[in-house]
Structure formats: structure tokens, C-alpha cells
Structure 1
Amino acid sequence: MPLLEILGLFLAGFATGAVNAVAGGGTFISFGALTLAGAPAISANATSSITQFPGYVTSTLAYWGDIRRMWRGALVLVLVSLAGSLVGALILLSLDNPQFRALVPWLLLAATALFAAGPWLKPRAVHAQEAKAGKGIAAPLLQFLTAIYGGFFGAGMGIMMLATLGLSQGGEYHRLNALKNLLATTIALVAIVVFVAGGVVDWPSALAMIPGVALGGWSGVFAARRLPEIYMRGFVITIGLLLAAYYFITR
């Protein structure tokens, strides 16, 4: 791999980590950088999942105290997430690159719209009676569908999950965010195992990006305290729309 390409992927990884720390949506940058570097669409998607995984793990560990208090209730959703992510990842591997590439602009548009709607999809606090009602079939069903999407593509998955958990679960934001991080880690782990077994991961590109993602995530914490989120959200939405337009033009 040329040194300039390694540097470009590292910088894209840095931007991915920083954007995720401030507003989320870094997958748009990592996926776009990998495809522009020449990775086939399926490989770019799988490799992007690899680069995001360390962030999912550290976010889960940060909420470990909250997770320990609700692990029994979360177990069903974890099992559902395992199954849904497996289905989504296997669907992805059943496609060839031209088929998946034809879907990419539509997936990017949907994920960009979901990301743009994020501030209006934040989970609301629900009363105990509503929370009890949400422990039926609705929560596992919604999580299964979200996990299929996460295993298949993943961009915007966190926002989608916060929205669905807010509809089906009780509790305040940080409880739901802790649950979301645990489930996102589960979904990503299963998808990564399937992608690695399927031989579709571009390891040189992943190794070039991961240090940048880690450094960008650490630096993004400082940016998050100084930069209004609206600017970062606008940047991510612009990237998503430009990538969608690129794929529409070149498909």
C-alpha cells in the first residue's frame, strides 16, 4: 500500500473517531474513504465495521456499572441482537459487489436522513406502566429488525436503536444509552466474525485506520466540549449526501 494512501486512511480514521465522539455518524467517513481508496463496496462495509468496533467496546465499558444493574433484563435483547446481526451479515455476504453497490446510495440516503432526524428521535422518559408494557414482544421484535440492519450496513444504527429502545423500554437517557452500547457491541462482534470468516475484510486498510480512529476518538472529547454539535452534524450530513450522490452517478 502506498504511503500516501496509508496516511489518507489514517486521517480518515482520525476524522471518523472525532466525529463519533462529538456527534456520531463517523461510519460515513470511514466507509467513504475506503471506497474512494478502491475497496469494493462489500469489503469497505466490512472493513468499516472492524474500524468502529474498538469504539463500541470502550463505550460499553464506560457504562459497565449501569449494564451490571440491568443485565438480566438485557439478556433477551442481546440474544435477539446476536440472531439479527447474523441474518444481516449473511444477507450482505449473499450479494455480490455490483448488487450491493446498487443498494449503497439508497442505504446512504436512508442513514443520512436518520442521522439528520437524530435530535428528534432521542428517547423520551416513560412511566413505569409504559415500561412494563414495553417488555412484551415489541422490544425484541424492534431490536431484531435493528440488528439485521446493523449486521447488513450499520450506518445510523446507534440512532435507530436509541429511537426503538425509547419506544419499547423504560428509564432515562443514560440507561438507554448504556443498553444501546451493549447491543451495538454485540451486533458489531457477530458481523465482524461473519465478515472475517467470509474473507471480505481489507486488513491493510483496517490497520491503517484503527490507530487514527483511536486517536480521533480521544481528541474528539476535547472538541466536543468546544465545538457546537450542530456544526459536526452538518458536516456528517453533507458527507452522507455527497457520498450518496457519488454512488448514484457512478453506479
Structure 2
Amino acid sequence: MPILDAVLLFLAGFLSGAVNAVAGGGTFLTFGAMTLAGLPPIVANATSSVTQFPGYITSTLAYWHDIKHFWRGALLLSLISALGALSGALILLGLDNPSFRALVPWLLVAATALFAAGPWLKPAPKPEHEAAVGSLVGSLAQFATAVYGGFFGAGMGVMMLATLGLTQSGDYHRLNALKNMLAVVIAAVAILVFVSGGVIAWLQAIIMIPGGALGGYAGVWIARRVPQNAVRGFVIAVGLFLAFYYFDKG
């Protein structure tokens, strides 16, 4: 691997961890860096899932106090999420790179719009009580979100928080904890499918993961000094750049 590509991947991992800690949207950076480094889009997408996974784990552990009060009630949503992620990941592996490449700019535009709308999609505070599994509508919404997460994943957190806010009970922190827990399930199932399909670029992932860990730590420093709107604007600009890049290549 050229040294410049290695530096690009490490920096993308670092920035991804930092922006995830502040505003979310790190997937745009990891996917984009691997694309610019010459990886096929399906491999870049699958490998990005691996690089983001440690962050999902640490975010979930940070909410463990909340999760331990409702995890039994969320098992059904976890099963639904696993089935949805399995479906989405298998759909991705069923495509060839040219077919997926044609979809990527549209996926990026949709994910960027979703990310940009994130502050307006956050659920309103509700009286604090246990997050429940909810209705059939909530289960179907979570399945659809998990399919998207297994297939592409950028903007999944915003989408899931919005749908959970409409269909589940609990205050914002409980919903965010539930979102993090389900994101771990979705990512874990998708990664297992991608590993079995042989579409993970392990060298690139190994370079990016330490950068992401350092970036997540640095995100605390960044959050105290850089306005969140500036970070969100940077992520949106990256998403739009990647979308136009793929439109141009198509």
C-alpha cells in the first residue's frame, strides 16, 4: 500500500472517531477515504462497518446504566434488527460493484439529507419510563432501518433515533441507549455476513481502527472548542462531495 494511502486512511479513521464523538456521521469519512484509496465500493462499504464497530460498542457501554433496565424488553427489537441487517447485508453481497456504484450517489444524497435533518428529527422528551418494544408499526420501522443499516449504514443512527422516537416509549436518553444497543446488533450481523463473503479489506481496517480510537478520545477536546454545527457542516460537505464524485464517475 502506498504510504500516502495509509496516511489518508489513518487520518480518515481519526476524523471519523472525532466527528462521531461530537455530531455523528463518521461513516461518510471512512467510506470516502477507502473509495479515494481505490477500494471497490462494496468492499469500502463493508470495511467501513468494521471500522465503525468499536465505536458502537463503546457508545453502548456508556449507556449501560440505562440499558440494564430494559434490555430484556428490547430482545424482540434486537431479533428484528438482526433479521433486517442480515437481509440488507445479503442484498449488498448479491450486487456486483457496478450495480452498487450506480446506487451509491443516491444513497449518499439520501444519507446526507437525513444527517442534515438530524437535529429536527430528535424525539421530544417524554415522561421517563421503561422503553418498551412497542407496536407492530414500530417493529416494521425497525426492520426497515436495520435492512438499510446492513446494506449501507450511513445515517442509520439518525434514522433509527427518529423512528424509535415515534414508535417507542421512554425519554431521549433511553431511546438513544436503545438505538446504540440495536446498532451493535445490526453492525455485528452485517460484519459476520461481510466476513463470510470475503469483502473486508483487513489491512485498511487495521490502519483505520487505531485512528478512530484516537479520534474518539480527541472528540472530547474538539467538542469543547469547535461548535457542533461546524462539525455537522463539515460532515455534510463530505457527504455531498462524495455524492457528486460518484455521480461524475457514473
Q: What is the TM-score of this pair, normalised by structure 1?
A: 0.96
Question: Deviation of residue 127 (structure 1)?
Answer: 5.8
1:63 equivalent in structure 2: 63
Maintained 8 Å contact 1:88/1:152: yes
Letter in 2 for 1:228: P
Maintained 8 Å contact 1:16/1:29: yes
Question: What 5-or-longer segments of structure 2 have no aligned partner?
Answer: none
1:124 equivalent in structure 2: 124
Q: 1:97-116 to 2 correspondence within 5 Å?
A: 97-116=97-116
Question: Deviation of residue 237 (structure 1)?
Answer: 0.5
Partner Cα separation in structure 1 for residue 53 and residue 196 of structure 2: 17
Partner Cα separation in structure 1 for residue 60 and residue 213 of structure 2: 15
Partner Cα separation in structure 2 for residue 48 and residue 34 of structure 1: 8
Q: 1:97-246 to 2 correspondence within 5 Å?
A: 97-126=97-126, 135-246=134-245
1:12 equivalent in structure 2: 12
Partner Cα separation in structure 2 for residue 135 and residue 200 of structure 1: 36
Question: What 5-or-longer segments of structure 1 have no aligned partner?
Answer: none
1:43 equivalent in structure 2: 43
Maintained 8 Å contact 2:128/2:171: no
Partner Cα separation in structure 1 for residue 126 and residue 174 of structure 2: 12
Question: Deviation of residue 128 (structure 1)?
Answer: 8.6
Question: Deviation of residue 7 (structure 1)?
Answer: 1.5
Maintained 8 Å contact 1:125/1:166: no
RMSD between superposed Cα atoms in Å: 1.4
1:22 equivalent in structure 2: 22
Maintained 8 Å contact 2:19/2:219: yes
Letter in 1 for 2:192: V
**How many pairs were matched up?**
249
CA offsets, 1:38-59, max 9 Å, x none?
Answer: 0000000000000000000000
CA offsets, 1:171-196, max 9 Å, x none?
Answer: 11110000000000000000000000
Partner Cα separation in structure 2 for residue 118 and residue 14 of structure 1: 22
CA offsets, 1:72-118, max 9 Å, x none?
Answer: 22111000000000000000000000000000000000000000000
Letter in 1 for 2:241: L
Question: Deviation of residue 4 (structure 1)?
Answer: 2.2
Question: Deviation of residue 8 (structure 1)?
Answer: 1.4
3-state SS in 1 of match to 2:25: coil
* Identity level (%): 68
3-state SS in 2 of match to 1:73: coil
Partner Cα separation in structure 1 for residue 37 and residue 184 of structure 2: 27
Maintained 8 Å contact 2:21/2:220: yes
Partner Cα separation in structure 2 for residue 69 and residue 167 of structure 1: 21
Maintained 8 Å contact 2:126/2:172: no
Maintained 8 Å contact 2:127/2:171: no
